[in-house]
Amino acid sequence: MENVLGWFTTCGVGALILLALASSAIKIVQEYERGVIFRLGRLVGAKGPGLFFIIPFIDRMVKVDLRVVTLDVPSQEAITRDNVTIKVSAILYYRVINPSDAIVAVEDFRRATWNIAQTTLRNVLGQSELDELLAQREKVNQKLQKIIDESTEPWGIKVSIVEVKDVELPQTMQRAMARQAEAEREKRAKIIHAEGEKAAAQQLSEAASILSSQPAGVQLRYLQTLTEIAVEKNSTIVFPVPVEMLQALFSNMTSKGSNSGDGAQ
């Protein structure tokens, strides 16, 4: 009886050991993951996704996530090329394209990418002027992306997007820029006003040339102006009469007087 119990105990222990070995040999990784396999310390390669087997106690697996990672670069204080102290924060998007290099080539690829993004951000800001950073931010973003991507390429990391988020300026610089913007608006307003005066003067000059060639047109214009003024009934109107009209009137009266005198004789 004791032999039977010992045999069952041995079988049970053996089954548990076999079950433990089988569970440690079976590995499952998700679609967005890869398992980097090391056999006795040597790199075998990346496997997955899905189900695969490894040799227990001989192989070791490290999971690597292949999804795009969003990395926030905290606010960095830097001095631009035109000696303006600013604080800039950025956001970076990267993903692992070579799982083996991401594990073997660098100790911690996440921290390494974060550090290289910080230093690159300060360096690029130091080479750029404030106006370029504010007006040509897309150009600065492309420059940052290119430099960081070239630095992380040996680690199997692909940096796809780098965006400068916030640019914090000193209070004195903000006030100076506000005064500059106000002066620029006043300048544009004066230029527009001068252009309007010039166009109006040209139109008046052309109208005067046309009216001077047509005396009757001048009289019609006087009458039109009188009609517009007469709308206000409580107004006193002093209307200038052209000398030509008076001369024509006197000439008509003189001719009529002469005709009537001749008829009387």
Residue 258 above 60 pLDDT?
Answer: no
Overall number of domains in the chain: 2
Mean pLDDT of 185-194: 83
Report pLDDT for 265.
46
128: domain CATH number is 3.30.479.30
- Kindly report, residue by residue over 201-239, the tens digit of the pLDDT: 888 777 767 666 666 666 666 666 666 666 666 666 665
Structural domain contains residue 179 = no
Question: What's the CA gap between 117 and 250, in Å, rounded?
Answer: 96
* Res 261 pLDDT > 60: no
Mean pLDDT across 237-248? 61
Q: Looking at the predicted structure, is the pLDDT value of residue 63 above 60? A: yes
Residue 38's pLDDT is what? 95
- Beta bridge mates, 47: 35
Residue at which a domain ends, from 140, 156, 173: 173
For residue 113, tell me if it sits in a domain.
yes
| Rounded-to-integer distance, Cα 24 and Cα 29, Å | 14
Q: Give the model's pLDDT for residue 61.
A: 92
- Is residue 52, in this structure, part of any structural domain at all? yes
Q: DSSP of 191-222, one letter per residue?
A: HHHHHHHHHHHHHHHHHHHHHHH-HHHHHHHH
113-141: per-residue pLDDT in tens? 999 999 999 888 888 888 888 888 888 99
Q: Dump pLDDT digits (tens) for 196-209.
A: 888 888 887 777 67
Same domain, 48 and 93: no
Q: Within a 10 A sphere around the Cβ of 11, how many other Cβ atoms?
A: 10
Residue 169 Cα distances to 10, 68, 176, 222, 234, angstroms: 76, 31, 11, 62, 61
Question: Looking at the predicted structure, is the pLDDT value of residue 167 above 80?
Answer: yes
Do residues 47 and 82 share a domain?
A: no
The residue segments making up the domain with residue 157 are: 69-173
pTM of the model: 0.63
